[in-house]
Amino acid sequence: MPLRVIFMGTPDFSVPTLSAIAEAGHDIAAVYTQPPRAAGRRGLELTPSPVQREAERLGLEVRTPTSLKGDAEQRAFAALHADVAVVVAYGLLLPKPVLEATKLGCLNGHASLLPRWRGAAPIQRAIMAGDAETGMMVMRMEEGLDTGPVALVEKCAIGSDMTAGELHDRLMAIGASLMVEALAQLGINCLTFTPQPTAGVTYAKKIDKSETRVDWTRPAGEVHNHIRGLSPFPGAWSEVEIGGRMERLKLLRSTLSEGVGESGGILDDRLTVACGSGAVRLVEVQRAGGRPAAAQEFLRGAKIEKGMKLK
């Protein structure tokens, strides 16, 4: 049974779910997304969100409020007379009147196995913690942060060298199909919800730039997880001397390796770097202002030798 849906989302991660809901034949009453942001080299151009671009391609009404706390915005939301709201990485707080404005509530697509990694950065935090598994969940939203009961779940293995970008794309596809299934069950009144466990709660706080620099005194496994968990954005980094000056080097891919040496020391001609214990081999890096490059390509253009040090 087709439902009247309000969709709420902003980044690339949300787009496949919006597209899948439209393709499934649901009536999308409006699309809420964050307002266009300043972009471009000088920051003078306003760039619409990926969700706004997709909504406009589909011919859907787009709304871009800066907040939903005001009475006028809440009345406008309720006036859509929707059956359900679907929220995927929207980025704005939904006050209680909004959560209660639709007939069947608000469904949220969340990229973790709740209650682990509630919050803003579950994909990055799962990899940075060395988790072997994560998933997508469809839950009913409450006022608390990702505390609502769960309806559907699909698990996803995290490969030993998988980056946050790769996991993002995998979960993005899983989330779209899972939400379409949830709406199908909701439409025939057979979507059931299970409360989250009270044990095992962790929080995925937003990534801060202050934590992106690599600490080479940590064990190799932790350094490897740090690099892949922050790839491609915002990117883990270190400094190395190139052409007589220190240069920031973004580290995009790595793999665990063998070797012993001073923390941060380069052990060979393959960019194997010693850690507090063990070593990692850098597989892909990016110089400031440059493009991502395989380690061997980077080494052809930069005189990095055994014995030098990443700091």
Bridge partners, 37 (sequence order): 47
Q: Does residue 36 have a known ligand-binding role?
A: no
In the block, tokens 């009404």 appear at 61
Does 263 count as an annotated binding residue? no
- At 57, list the tokens: 């391609």
What sign does the dihedral 99-102-107-108 (CA atoms) show? negative
Token readout for 269 is 């001609």
Beta strands in the chain (DSSP E): 4-9, 27-32, 37-39, 45-47, 62-63, 84-88, 106-110, 118-119, 133-140, 150-157, 203-204, 236-242, 245-257, 272-274, 279-287, 293-294
The reply, when asked if residue 14 is annotated as ligand binding, is no
Q: Are 20 and 172 in contact (CB under 8 A)?
A: no
Distance CA 161, CA 236 (A): 15
Query: Phi/psi class of residue 243: alpha, beta or left (left: φ > 0; alpha: ψ in -120 to 50)?
Result: left
Using alpha carbons, select from 262, 267, 290 the residue that is nearest to residue 277.
Answer: 262
Question: CB–CB of 108/87 below 8 Å?
Answer: yes
253 phi/psi in degrees, rounded to 5: -145, 145
Q: Does 112 belong to an annotated binding site?
A: yes
Binding residues for (6S)-5,6,7,8-tetrahydrofolate: 112-115
Binding residues: 112-115
